[in-house]
Amino acid sequence: MINKKVDNVTAALQGVKDDMTMMLGGFGLCGIPENAIAELVKIGVKGLTCISNNAGVDDFGLGLLLQKRQIKKMVSSYVGENDEFERQMLSGELDVELIPQGTLAERCRAAQAGFPAVYTPAGYGTEVAEGKETREFDGKMHVLEHAFKADFAFVKAWKGDAAGNLIFKGTSRNFNPNMCGAAKITVAEVEELVPVGTLNPDHIHIPGIFVQRIFQGATFEKRIEQRTVRTK
């Protein structure tokens, strides 16, 4: 077993510097690396490029980094529900690259799997495809999309072990597995770090080879963005 365990979030974020490119898992506020984000705010690194499906809300998730103007550029598919984000984008303080959600996932996966680029039909004929190579396959047009290059990937899992093996829960899985191993260093924060050997190898979602550092998060707020219920 190769040990990936670090003691805390501070140790997990060693080497994080200004102007780096970060991948952050999560969909809305579901499955975001809360502890890593809090630490990035604490360290105060600036000029970050963040690859994340969404940009959090004003006072949680990546919204916390936006508040402190630590983000230079966001690469996302959907950025509603965040007034500060909209303000910074419209004023030109923040550079924003909006890309289709499936393309975002696949550019992560391509980086993880060693593909330099992939062809996708998504976005053909729209402004997303402007300036990109296009090619016809079987009578249908496709756009060439390049693998991301990132310094750190911050992901959140439900359970993990010191070998770096990860198991996710529910829809908090989302982009997290696709970002593992897609950056130079993958940092996984888990709700529960269990002893090596207790996870069934058949149940592992992400093998530890894709993870460089793992720690148990001190706290997880797991805020709900849209609480919808029905009555009994």
Partner 1 sequence: MLDKIGIAKRIAQEVQDGYYVNLGIGIPTLVANFVRADIDVEFQSENGVLGMGPFPFEGEEDADIINAGKQTITTLAGASFFDSAMSFAMIRGQHVHLTILGAMEVAQNGDIANWKIPGKMVKGMGGAMDLVASAENIIVAMMHTNKRGESKLLKKCALPLTGVGCVKKVVTNLAVLEITPNGFKLLERAPGVSVEAIKNATEGNLLIEGDIPEMSL
Give the one residue of 173, 181, 183, 210 binding partner 1; rule: CB under 8 A. Answer: 173
Residue with Cβ nearer partner 1 (13 or 177): 177
Contact between 29 and 56 under an 8 Å Cβ cutoff? The reply is yes
**Does 30 engage in binding with partner 1 (CB under 8 A)?**
yes
What is the four-CA torsion angle of 43, 47, 51, 57, rounded to 10 degrees?
70
**Does 105 engage in binding with partner 1 (CB under 8 A)?**
yes
What does the block give as tokens for 175? 């982009």
Cα–Cα dist 35/32, whole Å? 9
Give the one residue of 66, 79, 166, 187 binding partner 1; rule: CB under 8 A. Answer: 79
Q: Which stretch binds partner 1 (CB under 8 A): 44-52, 70-78, 146-154, 209-217?
A: 70-78
Count Cα atoms within 13 angstroms, Cβ side, for 224: 4
Other CB atoms closer than 10 Å to residue 110's CB: what's the count?
19
**Does 201 engage in binding with partner 1 (CB under 8 A)?**
no
Q: Which stretch binds partner 1 (CB under 8 A): 4-12, 14-22, 43-51, 163-171?
A: 163-171
**Does 204 engage in binding with partner 1 (CB under 8 A)?**
no
Number of residues that bind partner 1 (CB under 8 A): 59
Minimum gap (Å) between residue 68 Cβ and partner 1: 22
Give the one residue of 77, 117, 144, 184 binding partner 1; rule: CB under 8 A. Answer: 77
Q: Where are the alpha helices (DSSP H) in 91-151?
A: 101-113
**For the chain, first and last CA: distance in Å?**
49
Give the one residue of 91, 200, 219, 228 binding partner 1; rule: CB under 8 A. Answer: 228
**Does 80 engage in binding with partner 1 (CB under 8 A)?**
yes
Minimum gap (Å) between residue 221 Cβ and partner 1: 9
Q: Phi, psi (5° rounding) for residue 199? A: -85, 135
Pick from 119, 86, 110: nearest CA to 178? 110
Cα–Cα dist 201/39, whole Å? 31
| Residues lying near partner 1 in the complex (CB under 8 A) | 27-31, 53, 76-81, 86, 89, 96, 98-106, 108-109, 120-128, 158, 168-178, 205, 222-232
